[in-house]
Structure 1
Amino acid sequence: MTDPAKPTGGDRKWSDLMPRILSAAVMVALGSLMIWLGGHWFRLFVVLLSAGMVWELTRMSAPERPDRCYLMGAIAGVAALAAIYLPAAIAMPLLLVPSMAAIALVPQRRTVVIAYAAMILLAGFGMVRIRDDLGATWLLWLVAVVVVTDVLGYFAGRMIGGPKFWPRVSPKKTWSGTAAGWVGAAAVGLAYGQWSGLGIALVGISIAVSMASQMGDIAESAIKRKAGIKDSSNLIPGHGGLLDRFDGMLGGSLFLLLAGPVAGFPPGIG
């Protein structure tokens, strides 16, 4: 006999929806407040997120050494804080300090930690630069692209279904959800393009950022698959950990930091 307290059939697909919505509402409110405040508030927010994500990353790779996980998180926080407040030329090597520390502190899956820790610190630095140099509006554009990509991917993947995107790495992701994310990102780009005067050019950049955010998601899924775990931690109800929630922002921010100047983005904005 089926237990009526347990979701069955189609209900199971949406069993995590309510906690996801509630947690997402809190995160959106907090994140929007920090972006609006800017300055020291936003910088400290990014530092704490970076430290927490490096802690989770090390925890997935060396769960038997919690002392080293906390130490890696602390090193990441100090490095991120120093890099944000020092001149950019000095900041660059500081952003790689956690990756260098991983060589000595992480006994397993060291290469993964080295690469992904660098991605976390660089992406966080990129978000601070966007907020400081371009203002809250353009950081909100980046957030909107990543959030719309994730939300449309979630709902389209469950409602439409179809072929899986990369079942060995992320068995729940579908091509329908992936493509829906691109469409949503294009819509965000079109709206911002009309507002900013960049026009259709911002549509292409938005789709590229959407793809980069999906790559960030896939990369984190691959790490979890290797570690044999479902979530990076249990800090956020319905979402798992910080990496589970911000992996897309890492990919999008890192892409924009590295490829934005090559594409001439953002032209004439200061």
Structure 2
Amino acid sequence: MTTSKPSNWDDLSVRVASSAAMTIIGAAAVIAGGVWFQMLAVFVTAVMVWELWMMIRNDEPTKGMLLAALVASILSGTIADGTLIGVLLFFVVPTIGVTQLKKERLTFFIFALGIQVAGWGLVHFRMEFGFLWLLWLMLVVIITDVFGYFAGRAFGGPKFWPKISPKKTWSGTIAGWIGAALVGYIFTLFTNAGSWIVVISMVLSFAGQMGDIAESALKRRMGVKDSSTLIPGHGGLFDRFDALLGASVFMLLVAVVFNVPGVAF
């Protein structure tokens, strides 16, 4: 009896179905804005912190759920507060986590803090700069992932960082940059962003890829394939939104330097 060799595209239908569902939910929340997008951001952020805890300490799920609940409470409060001082509360959960862990304390601290700051950044990016520019940010991340996935599967070639992310190829990485540049160019056609948005889009794409790389490094360090099994074909929320976390942190820096609402990149 012979068995067929697994295809590079075997998981495509499951990935597409899951992506479609997430896109519909995410798009509805992004368009609605306000409390709807805030609730989605709070939920996703809390779940990712739970997944982070479970990757490090999967024998104590209750503590992970309690930390996730605390994250949701703190993030909801800092969104309402709207001040940078309130962001200091994001140190609470990482600090508590450190006291409860016997290993990977610094790992938990850095990732838990980064996840919360990124979630807060996305909400305030939507509140301050509006639907259009959050759409731009998300499209850059999505197109980077789509172009990278198909180019990597179709062309293969040398690995981008084999010790950290064995599946990521240079062909997929560069295709992601090209896709992001196209998104930026399209936005120059109906906004006043100017040509610099093309460059910023490519750098944003790279920041998202580094978010993906960082999560891949974490999973390899923890010896797990996925952050969880919540999303068929994608793993967990952390697996799906790792690139968006990197992009969000990058945009927090960009928004300080450039007049985003203008939008004069």
TM-score (norm 2): 0.96
- Residue in 1 aligned with 2:231? 236
Partners of 2:84 and 2:153 lie apart in 1 by 46
The answer to whether residue 262 in structure 2 is matched with residue 268 in structure 1 is: yes
Q: Does 1:82 align with 2:87?
A: no
Tell me the secondary structure at the aligned position of residue 173 of structure 1: strand
Q: What is the Cα deviation at residue 265 of structure 1?
A: 4.1
CA contact (8 A) 1:193 1:201 kept: no
Q: Which residue of 1 aligns with 2:212?
A: 217
Task: Name the residue aligned to 2:156.
Answer: 161
Report the 3-state secondary structure (helix = DSSP H, G, I; strand = E; otherwise coil) of the residue aligned with 2:189.
helix
> Contact (CA 8 Å) 1:165, 1:174: kept in 2 or not?
yes
Gaps of 5+ in 1: none
- Aligned residue in 2 for 1:143: 138
TM superposition shift of 1:67: 1.7
Give the stretch that moved more between structures: 158-167 or 101-110.
101-110
Aligned-partner Cα distance in 1 for 2:261–2:27: 25
Compute the displacement of 1:267 (Å): 5.4
Q: Secondary structure at the match of 1:172?
A: strand
What is the alpha-carbon distance in structure 1 between the residues aligned to residue 84 and residue 220 of structure 2? 36
CA RMSD of aligned residues (A): 1.4
Pairs within 5 Å for 1:1-270: 1-3=1-3, 7-8=4-5, 11-262=6-257, 264-266=258-260, 268-269=262-263
Native 8 Å contact 2:193 2:262 kept in 1: no
Residue 168 of structure 2 aligns to a residue whose secondary structure is: strand
Q: 2 CA distance for matches of 1:188 and 1:35? A: 18
**d(CA) in 1 for partners of 2:226 and 2:201?**
28
Runs of 4+ in 1 over 6 A off after TM superposition: none
**Residues 193 and 263, structure 2, Cα contact 8 Å, conserved in 1:** no
Distance in 1 of aligned mates of 2:105 and 2:11? 33
Matched letter for residue 230 of structure 1: K
Alignment CA distance shift 1:29-1:245 (3 Å): same
Q: CA deviation at 1:23?
A: 0.2
- Contact 1:99 1:118 (C-alpha < 8 Å) held by counterparts: yes
SS across alignment from 1:96: helix
> What is the percent sequence identity of the aligned residues?
46
SS in 2 for 1:154: helix
Amino acid at match of 1:217: D
**CA apart distance, 1:123:** 0.7
Q: Quick check: 48-57 or 186-195, which moved more?
A: 186-195
2-structure distance, mates of 1:236, 1:25 = 12
Q: Deviations over 1:74-99 (max 9, x none)?
A: 12111111111113133221222221
The residue matched to 2:251 in structure 1 has which SS?
helix
Distance 2:217 2:19 in 1: 23
Q: Secondary structure at the match of 2:190?
A: helix
Note if contact 1:134-1:269 (Cα within 8 Å) is conserved in structure 2: no
Q: Pick closer, same or farther for the CA change 1:30–1:198 going to 2, 3 Å.
A: same
Instruction: Determine helix, strand or coil for the equivalent of 2:260.
Output: coil
Shift of 1:117: 0.8
Q: Distance in 1 between matches of 2:240 and 2:219?
A: 13
How far apart, CA to CA, are the structure 1 residues paired with 2:185 and 2:197?
7
Distance, in Å, in 1 between the alignment partners of 2:136 and 2:263 is 14
- Displacement of 1:130: 1.2
In structure 1, distance between residues paired with 2:106 and 2:209: 21
* Aligned-partner SS, 2:167: strand
Q: List runs of 5+ in structure 2 lacking aligned partners.
A: none
Please state whether the residue corresponding to 2:234 is helix, strand or coil.
coil
